[in-house]
Amino acid sequence: MNVLVLGAGQLARMMALAVKPLNINIRAFDVGSDTVVDPLSTDIVFGGLTQGIEFADFITAEFEHIDHQTLALCQASGKLRPSSQAIKVGGDRRLEKDLLIKCGVANAQHQIIATKADFDQALNNLSMPLILKSALAGYDGKGQWRLKDKAQAEDIWLDIKAFFDGGVQGLQHAVVAEQMVPFDREVSLVGARDSQGNTLVYPLTQNHHTNGVLSVSIAIEIDEALQAQAKQVFDSIAKELNYIGILAIEFFQIGEQLLVNEIAPRVHNSGHWTQQGADTCQFENHLRAVCDLPLGSTELIRPSAMINILGEDEVPNEILSVASTTLHWYGKSKRPGRKMGHINVSGNDEKQLAERLTLLADMLPEAEFDELKPYVASYKKQLS
């Protein structure tokens, strides 16, 4: 079986590693160079997109912000899974909000802003504080503004207008203004849907962000009612999109209610723990769904956590002395804030996982992992 992945980053790399034992061959379309490469050795080139489409039995994607012409060519081949429309929804917050409304899924109060009149209307209709997110270009905390009171409004509008003016010409730019939600915690659900409509979901994962970027995910057994609520949302969205593959949904938890923050039509950073904490990792299950193979178990086999490595190309070797700890590097050149790799750690129970997280937090340099210690301390306190 041959699969072309749109995008040649770490997610394509981890897909290739996960499905080699299934005799699935992965090539990746590098959107920066317009070439098809080996995701494990990106200096090996196999031609352009046309050659990649010819090679593939199926085509999938590792990120949402893909040129629409590329998506159209892949969709026309009949090989693209999930569909181009599903990928576009993940890359445009306007389409995403329309989808959530159509599915009757709870999300934050919001308004689409394309003009100064829209901006002024949002200030009147929504309560402060607001978070404003680029409809097309924002991710990992980029393309976002926080408006705490109306005294900031004019400066923020000028910044947004400059953002619009500096964007790709020919595209209709906008931002989505949302009322900030006073949530108890951030959680996410990663699940798989096959071409027959069968779905399986992994346990809800508790997430912590640093400067808008995911830094820690913890997967444990979650309240059954909350898990069922999340799966109902997953099934509703996945069915509406006629989705095939892994779909991730980020939620705000407020008491016993889940509000959708955003969706990602792909394997997701908050699901990296599945490499060591589940029978079948998200990368393998994505390709199983895409290639019409039976889905693998998504059950939690042991409490697990993932720690992102951001902007650093080395960590102390001693972390590997902590039991059930696995290090995953992405083979990237170092750059501030860049996702360079991640650390997975597991325990037989939550208490053991917390102890191992504490050991890792003590070993990792505090300057580069500055919020890890207090977060782990807070997690341990939850267990006491």
Residues 191 and 302 in one domain: yes
Q: Quick check: 57 and 2 in contact, CB under 8 A?
A: yes
pLDDT band per the 50, 70, 90 thresholds, residue 371 = very high
Residue 103 included in any domain: no
pLDDT band per the 50, 70, 90 thresholds, residue 256 = very high
- C-beta neighbour count of 146 within 10 angstroms: 11
Quick one: what percent of the chain has pLDDT higher than 90? 88
pLDDT value of residue 137: 67
Residues 46 and 10 in one domain: yes
- Indicate the SS3 state at residue 321: helix
- Residue that finishes a domain, picked among 179, 214, 241: 179
Residue 85 included in any domain: no
The CATH number of the domain where 170 resides is what? 3.30.1490.20
Residue showing tokens 């997109």? 49
User: 215 is written with which tokens?
Assistant: 């830094």
101 Cβ contact list (under 8 Å, min separation 6): none
Residue showing tokens 């910044």? 159
pLDDT of 168 above 70? no
The CATH number of the domain where 57 resides is what? 3.40.50.20
User: 305 is written with which tokens?
Assistant: 């956590």
Residues 54 and 113 in one domain: no
Winning range, highest mean pLDDT, from 51-55, 65-69, 156-160:
51-55
- Pairwise CA distance, residues 342 & 363, whole Å: 15
- Residue that finishes a domain, picked among 62, 80, 98: 80
pLDDT value of residue 212: 83
pLDDT value of residue 170: 54
Average pLDDT value for residue range 127-149: 82
pLDDT band per the 50, 70, 90 thresholds, residue 263 = very high
Residue 95 included in any domain: no
Q: Quick check: 88 and 71 in contact, CB under 8 A?
A: yes
DSSP codes, 264-292 = ESS--GGGTTHHHHBSS-HHHHHHHHHTT
pLDDT value of residue 384: 77
The CATH number of the domain where 212 resides is what? 3.30.470.20
- How far is C-alpha 229 from the chain's CA centre? 20
pLDDT digits (tens, 9 = 90+) for 192-228: 999 999 999 999 999 999 988 999 999 988 899 999 9
pLDDT of 166 above 90? no
pLDDT band per the 50, 70, 90 thresholds, residue 349 = very high
- Indicate the SS3 state at residue 133: strand
Residues 68 and 44 in one domain: yes
pLDDT digits (tens, 9 = 90+) for 15-52: 999 999 999 999 999 999 999 999 999 999 999 999 99
Average pLDDT value for residue range 294-301: 98
pLDDT value of residue 164: 83
Residues 253 and 200 in one domain: yes
Residues 281 and 364 in one domain: yes
How far are the Cα atoms of 81, 109, 235, 308 from residue 240, in angstroms, in the given order? 15, 22, 8, 32
Q: Using N-to-C axis directions, what is the helix angle for 372-383 and 350-363, rounded to 10°?
A: 160
Q: Quick check: 283 and 14 in contact, CB under 8 A?
A: yes
Average pLDDT value for residue range 105-125: 93
Residue 104 included in any domain: no
Residues 120 and 190 in one domain: no
Residues 174 and 190 in one domain: no
- Pairwise CA distance, residues 298 & 260, whole Å: 21
Average pLDDT value for residue range 328-348: 96
Residues 174 and 244 in one domain: no
- Residue that finishes a domain, picked among 157, 179, 201: 179
Residue 158 included in any domain: yes
Residues 26 and 129 in one domain: no
pLDDT of 260 above 70? yes
- Name the residue range of residue 312's domain: 185-383
Q: Quick check: 295 and 288 in contact, CB under 8 A?
A: yes
The number of distinct structural domains making up the chain is 3
Residues 173 and 199 in one domain: no
User: 185 is written with which tokens?
Assistant: 């915690």
Residues 347 and 303 in one domain: yes
